[in-house]
Amino acid sequence: MSYPIVTAVANVLAHSPGLVRYGSRTSRDLARDPALVATIAPHLRTYPEAVGYGPTQVYIGNADPEALRTASRPWFATPDPTARSDGAFGEVIGEAELLGLLKLCDRARLVQLDEATLARARDGLVARALASTEEFHALAPSPEAGIARAVGSGEALPLVLDDKVVGAVARGHEEDEALTAGVLLENLVAKATGVLALRRLFAQLEGRLAPGDLDFVLAGSEEAVGDRYQRGGGNLAKAIAEQVGVKRASGFDIKAFCASTLYGVFNAAALIQAGVFSRVAVVAGGSLAKLGMKYRAHVARGMPILEDVVAGIAILVEDARSGKDRGPAIRLDTVGFHGAGAESSQQAVIEALVLGPLAKAGYRLTDVDRYATEMHNPEITEPAGSGDVPLGNYRLIAALGAMRGHIPRDGIQDFIVRYGLPGYAPTQGHIASAVCYLGHAVQSMRAGNVGRVLFMAKGSLFLGRMTQLSDGVSFLVTT
């Protein structure tokens, strides 16, 4: 049977130290104690430090995740000064470029930027072939005095670059709490980094696929775009498609917390398998709210605030019969779910999302070459007491495998090393939850190094206070 295939992946990061103050945790703390800005500032990384960070290089495809196993810790202590900001399937842009993207994506004219920052953003994005000079011709820079007035009056949030206020984001309505400047900035960051990822995807496909060739767009971000009457009803997929010039296609958003983007990949494959579309892009912008989420622990330990990048991803899924590039297949016959009647213990989730798909395929645990789970960077999570998230998942998978007789009871550590991966993704759950490894999987499968990868994403539905259920989706990707 012919299954839909993954033919291209783009992983992007936007270095955003000036936006760390608007992360959920930091903004709440700063509201109580504005002097914390001075405490946070010395712990913010420079752009070269963020680019040269080992997990960054893995994320954009310049290094294999396995390289982190032998790299000395802490990884942040030895950034590579020669590291490139563009990778095999990724890109790291600077904060000025991100601010320029916010301005480009602002259809309501709520973002102001001064002339120098707008020019810097234009030059950087055009040089990367991620924007055109013509796009910036239509954007008028804002006078610095006007930006200062808007910020001083409290009607707009300041945008800071290199310790200087260079712009502002205004609120979208006088009374609607869903259209405050902070919420709109969060939505714009998600849109802009989604646009960045989809543009990078098309740059990789230049000469093979143009925006007009795309049939549909699915968005798997975590934001809830809307107004007071439809707080989470929005459609960033279509907004991103419009900005990138995907004029023929429509799209919609998928909401499932951290599992959203992997749900997007599964749904894209299902739409193609059903014959509705031939080419579907799955895109996800980053989460502003999660910048600086664990900053307290990082500052307390005298380390950099590593949650200073916003992530994005774009994935092209195609009909294997029409795709011109060879790519791994999404095995829809192996899709695993965590049912509404299932227990929410970690063991029950792993049984549903790992052992379930394997049973459908008739495989044992060792018949799969790699397991992609929540790939959170342990240097971010361990100082805050959250442990090494992927390692914990691999231990549980291996323990269940030992209980089922798939591996020897003394083979758990060997399983982790052989079939697991070190964590490297930023703590943006819908990006870290397995999908960030798709680019590496496509590379490895095309090279013949890997034949089967199980992708597993978990979601925390209980966060919405509507249920105590966990959630998740998984499937096999094979050559």
Give residue-wise pLDDT tens across range 165-181: 999 999 999 899 999 99
Q: In whole numbers, what is the pLDDT of the chain averaged over residues?
A: 95
Q: What is the model's pLDDT at position 332?
A: 97
Q: What is the model's pLDDT at position 234?
A: 86
Confidence band, pLDDT 50/70/90 cuts, at residue 323: low
Q: What is the model's pLDDT at position 374?
A: 96
Q: What is the model's pLDDT at position 344?
A: 79
- Using only C-alpha atoms, the chain has a radius of gyration, in whole angstroms, of 22
Sheet holding 164-170, edge to edge: 111-113, 164-170, 156-161
Task: Give mean pLDDT, residues 9-37.
Answer: 97
pTM, 2 dp: 0.96
What is the DSSP track for 345-400?
Answer: SHHHHHIIIIIHHHHHHT--GGGSSEEE-B-B-HHHHGGGT---HHHHHHHHHHHH
Confidence band, pLDDT 50/70/90 cuts, at residue 324: low
- 10 Å Cβ neighbour count for 256? 22
In the predicted model, is pLDDT for residue 64 greater than 80?
yes
Give residue-wise pLDDT tens across range 328-363: 999 999 999 998 888 878 888 899 999 999 999 999
Q: What is the model's pLDDT at position 2?
A: 86
Sign of CA dihedral 250, 254, 255, 261: negative
Q: What is the model's pLDDT at position 343?
A: 83
Virtual torsion, Cα 388, 389, 392, 397, nearest 10 deg: -150
Task: Give mean pLDDT, residues 276-281.
Answer: 97
Task: Give mean pLDDT, residues 15-25.
Answer: 98
Q: What one-letter code names the amino acid at 10?
A: A
Task: Give mean pLDDT, residues 39-49.
Answer: 98
State percent of the chain over pLDDT 90: 90
